[in-house]
Structure 1
């Protein structure tokens, strides 16, 4: 199908982009890598008055060290994130999830910030951002603000970004010693959306799990933290029995969808199984 008519703006700076979005108001859309927005436009699931293409804003790209965090520009492609040494050193969970996203062609065009701002609960990076307790940097007419990952995802395809605001960067806190990670994803065919995914971070002490953070993909209208499983994992032995018992709480409090890929109870089962696998893999088993 052919998209509905819209105004097209291609700014060269963040300030120009923010001005264009502010002028467009609630009917403006940001075009980043285009891997999600263009299909939505073609299917006429969205009718923006203005599309602001930020592909020529160089300050939105790249990864830099900022002391206690690394900062990933919103327009940094999945490919560049996947091969960045700072990400590999300080946030390997991002790399583990990114290498499962779609195919090489999409990873060369799609962007880290674009995927997060799209806020599809079946997308892999939202659960990762929750587990890592990232901060989202938004720039709008009133300046810059930081939004904790736990507050960023509001509902299906809906974020805390206000009309006129542009997601400019994601701050990823550096983890201290003893942390390890794993991303476990179940999908019907290679390169498909997750039926369920689990982002696991584990800190071990003396053979036990001292602390765990678990992010869930496609277990509700937004990415979620598996808080009950996190609490149950604290202090348990890092073995199959201990982790399995704690992982049985992974679906507590979730509201997974039922669709052609699986019913809600099937997703709940997958969340428990994949949480056990992800935590054990993160713990070195």
Structure 2
């Protein structure tokens, strides 16, 4: 072999061996290994979804924030980088690898579960109907015929509302007069309070703290809409993310079993809810 070519080959061989020995360059490393090597994890959050997430004194606080800190005890040397984004950008951003996981309350449904991987459940996501406390014409979901109802764009609660509309029409009613979509639920609550909406479809777990903070303004219908469902956190559905997803699910399972989850639910919701501790039930919607 020509001397210069032989020198080049030896140099490249040495360089490749060096790269393979450096953490983060090994071909066998996955997302969890890179997170540990870089000492940073980046997550996407919607911080306008109290009591799961909200901004207080410039910090993201809430049920998810506290549960996340508990889970991250398994990564003691890893710094958290949390991006606050509209809900509609979270799953596309995860797909585009803008962050490692979505840490916000995402309702598990069939469509999402076919494309993304979910942790164990963190809370009940079953949808309910919020109305003004002085609203006399709406006593059950069937009374939403001819009404204007709001929910969040891209949410599972919006999906449940659209299904209700189809069922009302199938039963011979006119169906919901208009379904208004909002970037955030806070905007829908404001429109409901001043009469621009007749009702809002939202998860029951979110509505308890809202009712407590706005006494006499709103009330919750006793019947839910849609099937039993759960909130969870989200990872990409690939082998690269599998070990990181398991670390998070294991942490959630510990929180469920040791009482931490119930304590955080009482702190942020004012009540507790039973969620499966060992497996995510198959979504029915």
Is TM (by shorter chain) over 0.5?
no
Structure of greater Rg: 2
Structure number with greater CO (CA < 8 Å, separation at least 6) is: 2
Higher helix share: 2
Higher strand share: 1
TM-score range for the pair, normalised by the shorter chain length: under 0.3
TM-score, length-normalised on structure 2? 0.26
